[in-house]
Structure 1
Amino acid sequence: MTLNITLAARWLMAQSSDFRLTTDSGATVMSEVAQKQVVLQYHDWSGLVCYTGVARYGSHDTAAWLSQVLTHEMGQRSPAQVVSKLCEEGTRWLRRVPAKYRHHTFTMITFERGTPRVYVISNFERPNGLRSEDAADALFCTSVRPRGPRCIVTGWSPAVVDSQRTELADLLASAPSPHHLREAIALTSRDASARGQGTVGESCVVSHLCPDGSGQASVFGNLPAEFIPTMIVRGENVATRFPDVTAQAGLSGPHRLVGATWTANGETTMLLGVFRELSKQSGSGWPTDTSS
């Protein structure tokens, strides 16, 4: 189990995911660079998908699986089609996982022609905070259309206390800059890691979406291994191009994403990524000044 924080309103949405991967019991850290968030961009909508729960089981790797499920021939796919894919394909492989380890949640946020929606696709929790001790046999989807600010925490939700949720919702109500909102969510996630019983890492990725479909992702904290996330543009995982791009830019050795920016929805879309060699990481990887 890990931690995802989602903030949503009509004017701005943002989502975080940490990188830690632990054993089923949470006793052993297996990775600090597990990919748990994917960017989606289409002609008339953009979205972010993250997950918490089962990252690996047997030969199954959820990050690789998610990339395969979300990749398709170049063209359009609606949010409803994405939700259907996640529910159907996710239920199929989760049924192979022992019941006591089967708790899993995908959270997808979208702006669909400027309208915000949050989809919580889970077998044990809902966006209003209700959770079941037992995982259902199938994933189910609960969607909300936020008007005022909503703070939805999935995964190890007790790690984010009520006062922090209120502070984040109040911040979103004040119409902050996306930069300020991303940093506030990242700091909340880092603080929550101390209450996550070893399952929540300090480093995280936080991305925001604007009503026009544009957005930006930022990685907070230094990473111990290479990290190149999946980014789907009209069905293509454009991250597969990044190794060639970084090689042309003169990067050598393992590197990781620093941040990515994507343009508004429309006929022409563009996604730009910034990378850094692991050997050239400096400091803590966290901003020293979080004012906006």
Structure 2
Amino acid sequence: MTLIIVLASKDSVYVSCDFRLTDGSTGRTLQDNAHKLINAASPLHSTLIGVTGVAVLDSMPTGEWIARKVYENPTPPPLAAIIESLQDAQSALNKISDRKLRRHTFVVSSMIGNRPSIALVSNFERFVKGRIQRLDNALDELIVTTIRPRGPQIHITGASDAVSISEKSTLVSLIKRRSPEDEIQHAIAEVNVAASERSTTVSSGCTIGSIHSNGQGTIRPMVTEAQSGDFLPPDSLESLKAHGLQIVPAVNALGERAPLRLVGVTMARSITSPGQIRQQLKRDPKNAELWNNYGAQLAREGKFDEAISAYEKAIELSPNFVTPIANLAQQLWINKKNLEAAEARYSEAIAKTAPDVPSWISSSFAQFYDVALGDVPRALRLHEQAATDTSYPLAKARLGEFLARQLGENARGNLLIAEAETSAPLDPNVLILAGRSARNQTADLNVALNYAQRAAVLDPSNIEALRESADLLLLIGDARASIYYYRRLLKRDRNNAHIIGNFGLALLICRRPHLAIRNLSRAASLQPGNPNTLINLAAALWVNRQSNDAVAALNAGLKMGPAPEIELEAIAMLEIATQSDRQRQDRISELINSGVHAYGMTVRSMAQKKSTSARARIEKIANVIEGKVLPTW
């Protein structure tokens, strides 16, 4: 038999399983090394599965059978799929003719979001009005019953009679008082030891797992001398195998192999929904870490003012907690354009952590000095300082991008980015920089797009990954696909002039000039000094037969003194929208001969609803500014 203790509240679940296997017919101890508590945690849920009953299923130990069910697919299964897979044990159980020996229960304790759940998957036990009820003999099917704890409670299966009423009360009082995790786990271990002295079917050692509504949890084997030799749970082995890893045992001077033993497991699952974090804050409103996490999630959803308020609350609660200080600095810079306040907050974060400044703060501050203030020497110093941290490959990638872009050190920069990608192949921000590096080296937009889209898959809320994917698709010529990404971006950042403007251009290319004009006009009002937006708006107005407004927009854009490639594009569009002008043609030739080129997509959009000859002329001019053909007027 087994002793499974489940201690729960609305915030936490603790589960313990002992290690003993006994002969169901004779009660004789078979072994004290059985693994009966399996970790089935995933990004979707925190789950611990305990088992009491039949020791072997389908010719393998039941713990191993559970672990294989959990890890047989490369994608972490949802909780419902795990429970359904446990019911597959019924075919093996039905081969046992004695219905008493067939009795079997899986106890599935989970945290879904921030709500606890306890399920019995059993052929003889079930929850009835919040309590476990038993049948003497097993049924022919494994039935699922579930409860959702809303207050302190304890449930025991297996050798439940071996635990006294006073011991149960003690454990419940501990979780009711929100005692520290370590104190509760040791108290459960002591109850397990006491139970082993009353029942020969329970070992004095046990494994105890805990899962909490904040996404954290631990597993601790409370081993004794009876648990000798290798002691690795099957779930740990299956997880390592799924990632292509294995543990190599140490060998002493005599060539003797040291045993492999699990010391403990620490789990962390990100609570990604602001709604879930709000529930946490109701329970713990003075938790600065929760307020910081709340701000981070709000920022990912584009709720920047609310994010700033959350960061400020975290700082109010814990003035020396530098994470929200640095996060607030970034928001003040990027979304509020308050550079003075941002610099003050960054400096505060640096001062409070000196001399051991976290590399992610140094790296973020370096970006601020580079992009916002144009202070290259300070940015270089901070980038190099952050990049010394080998545990933070993104800092190395950022340094590489900076060296290539600002100092022209392409070889060194590209090498640093490649090293960062090797160290962190699944970091979306590293992949974005690797894509830019590849684009600079090969001018292949498709390679860069592949990196950006991989980053967007890894982190669907990553604004840079979505923006990079959208912009590259637009440049490649797949405006329809770019619209998908721009719409996702606009759900997170409704007032970004760049995103709105490019969304408008994509709509124009997809022959939706009215919507294009609406979005490009809004982008121009949000960023009135951007000549590129005015030039794209001019193309939309031209297609919409508002030719005078189109010419006015082009001339207004040119008066802003745009970059040479934007000037080239605008002059080419004027050559289409007005009568040919020799002076204008000479300026186009001058720019092209000096090495200036422009993307021709906006020019090509002006061919909509035009005659065959007009479309041919527009295509020729687009090819000229792209450098595909020489200008011949």
TM-score (norm 1): 0.83
Q: 2:43 is matched with which residue?
A: 43
Distance 2:60 2:96 in 1: 10
SS at structure 2 position matched to 1:129? strand
Distance 2:194 2:26 in 1: 18
Q: How does 1:108-119 map to 2 (within 5 A)?
A: 108-119=108-119
Q: How does 1:121-200 map to 2 (within 5 A)?
A: 121-127=121-127, 128-196=131-199, 198-200=200-202
Distance 1:244 1:138 in 2: 37
Q: 2:3 is matched with which residue?
A: 3
Distance 1:83 1:166 in 2: 30
Q: 1:92 is matched with which residue?
A: 91
SS at structure 2 position matched to 1:136? coil
AA in 2 matched with 1:226: D
SS at structure 2 position matched to 1:64? helix
The answer to whether the Cα contact below 8 Å between 1:41 and 1:265 also exists between their aligned partners in 2 is no
CA offsets 1:42-98 (integer angstroms, 9 cap, x no match)? 1221110010011137834312221221222221311111111112x1111110112
Q: 1:107 is matched with which residue?
A: 107
Task: Indicate the structure whose relative CO is greater, using CA pairs within 8 Å and at least 6 residues apart.
Answer: 1
Q: 1:107 to 1:21 in 2, by over 3 A?
A: same
Q: 1:130 to 1:86 in 2, by over 3 A?
A: same
Q: 1:186 to 1:239 in 2, by over 3 A?
A: farther
Would you say 1:217 and 2:196 are equivalent positions?
A: no
Query: 1:180 offset after TM fit, Å?
Result: 0.9
Query: 1:261 offset after TM fit, Å?
Result: 0.9
AA in 1 matched with 2:261: R
Q: How does 1:196-275 map to 2 (within 5 A)?
A: 196=199, 198-222=200-224, 223-231=227-235, 237-240=238-241, 244-247=246-249, 252-265=257-270
Distance 1:195 1:187 in 2: 13
SS at structure 1 position matched to 2:249? helix
CA offsets 1:106-142 (integer angstroms, 9 cap, x no match)? 0011110111000111111124131111111111111
Which is helix-richer, 1 or 2?
2
AA in 2 matched with 1:10: K
SS at structure 1 position matched to 2:47? strand
Which is strand-richer, 1 or 2?
1
Distance 2:26 2:240 in 1: 30
Distance 1:201 1:178 in 2: 22
Greater alpha carbon shift after TM alignment, 25-34 vs 201-210: 25-34
The answer to whether the Cα contact below 8 Å between 2:250 and 2:257 also exists between their aligned partners in 1 is no
Query: 1:249 offset after TM fit, Å?
Result: 10
Aligned length in residues: 262
Q: 2:21 is matched with which residue?
A: 21
Percent sequence identity over matched residues? Answer: 29
Q: 1:171 to 1:26 in 2, by over 3 A?
A: farther
Distance 1:58 1:90 in 2: 8
Gaps of 5+ in 2: 273-633
Greater alpha carbon shift after TM alignment, 255-264 vs 169-178: 255-264
Query: 1:218 offset after TM fit, Å?
Result: 1.0
Query: 1:191 offset after TM fit, Å?
Result: 0.6
Distance 1:56 1:77 in 2: 23
TM-score (norm 2): 0.39
The answer to whether the Cα contact below 8 Å between 2:58 and 2:92 also exists between their aligned partners in 1 is no
Which is greater in Rg?
2
The answer to whether the Cα contact below 8 Å between 2:48 and 2:109 also exists between their aligned partners in 1 is yes
Distance 2:251 2:14 in 1: 30
Gaps of 5+ in 1: 268-292
Distance 1:239 1:149 in 2: 35
Distance 2:244 2:207 in 1: 18
Query: 1:28 offset after TM fit, Å?
Result: 2.0
SS at structure 2 position matched to 1:258? coil
Give the aligned CA root-mean-square deviation in angstroms.
2.4
The answer to whether the Cα contact below 8 Å between 1:45 and 1:265 also exists between their aligned partners in 2 is no
Query: 1:26 offset after TM fit, Å?
Result: 4.6
The answer to whether the Cα contact below 8 Å between 1:46 and 1:111 also exists between their aligned partners in 2 is yes
SS at structure 1 position matched to 2:132? coil
